[in-house]
Amino acid sequence: MVGRHELTLLFVVAAVAVAPMAALGATTPTDSRVQATSPSAESEGQLYQQGETASCDYSRLYNQTIDSVVQIQTAQGSGSGFVFDVSDGQSYVVTNQHVVNQTTSVGVRFARGETQTGTVVGATQLADLAVVRVNETPEYVEALPVANATPNPGDRVAAIGSPFGLETTITSGIVSGVNRTSPVGFPLPNTVQTDAPINPGNSGGPLIACDTGAVVGVNQAGGAENIGFAIGASIVQQIVPELIQQGEYAFPLLGVQGVTLTQPLAEANDLNVTSGVYVLDTIEGTPAAEAIQGANDSVVVNEQQIPVGGDVIVAIGNQSVTSREDLLSYLFTETRPGETVEVTVLRDGERRTVNVTVTERPSQEQQ
C-alpha cells in the first residue's frame, strides 16, 4: 500500500487557507468609472492594434464592466464578486467560498456606492465558489458574461476587485497558462494562471478577457510574484447554476490516487508508454478499488523508493489521458455521481478496459 500523502486525484482535500483581508475603509465616488482616452479602440471590449502589437484599451474595458463588480463585506473582512445573473431587480453574485466562509448574510457594495444586504444561497468549499442573492439591485447593473471557451496563453486580461479593501481597482496582465490544477485547497482542474496582480481582497472577483469583456475566471489567490490563479470559466458555468438552484453541488469521485507518469516511474515499472496517470492507490469501498489496481510494491532506484505494480490510466470515456490534469478535467466536466465510465488502463504490459461507477465525493467536513 503506497502512502496516501502522495499527490491525489479528486481525493485528498486541503483546507482553503486564504483568508479574506480586512477592508481598509476605502471609499468610492458616486460614479467610479473613468473616461476612455484611446481613440484607436474599435468598439467596447474589442482588441485593437497599435502598429503590429496587439494591445488592450483597459479604460474602455473598465468602464464596460465595473458596474457589475462588487465588494463583499463580512464581519471578518472583505473580498470581491461579480454579478452573474440579474432579473427584475434580483441578482446573483458569484464570489469565493472562503470570502463568505460560514456566514449566511453579507454586505454587497456596488461600484457607485450603494450597499445592499446579500443572502448566501449556495456555497462549496471544494470548488471555493459561493453565490449571494441580492433582492434590490441598482438599475444600472448588468450581468457579466462568462466565457464559453478557454483563453489562450498570452491573451490580455484584467483583474477587477477590492485588493486590501481598495474598491474598484483594476490590474492588468496576460494569461500565463491554462488547464492548470489549482495549487490552492482542493485540486480543481481548468484553472487559469495569470500575471495580473491578485492580492488579498481580490478573491472572488472576475478575471476578464480584454477582447470580449467576458469572465474567464474567478480570482482565487496570488501564488508568488507575477503568479496568480483563477477558477476557470468552465467550472463556474458548471457549478454556479446548481448552487443557485440547489444550494450545493455533488462532486464526482473516481476512487483512485494517482500522479502524472514520469520517466522514473515508467522505467521502474518496465512500461512501454510515456504518458498517462500512474495509480498509486485506490480508495477502499469505492468501485475503483475492485476494478483498478494500485501499486503493490516498491523498488529503490538511485536511492529513491519508486512504487511498482500499479495500473496506468491512458484513457477515460472517449478521451485519451496524458496527465493528471486530463483525468481531473474529464471527471469534472463529463461525469456525475452514479454514472459508469470506461477506463482504459495498462496492466502487465497489456491494455484493458474496465467499467467504473463514479461515486459522490464526501464533503470536506466528513473527512
Active site (catalytic) residues: 98, 128, 203
Phi/psi region, residue 43 (left: phi>0; alpha: psi -120 to 50; beta: rest), is: beta
Amino acid at 18: V
Grid cell for residue 22:
480586512
Separation of alpha carbons 78 and 63, rounded Å: 23
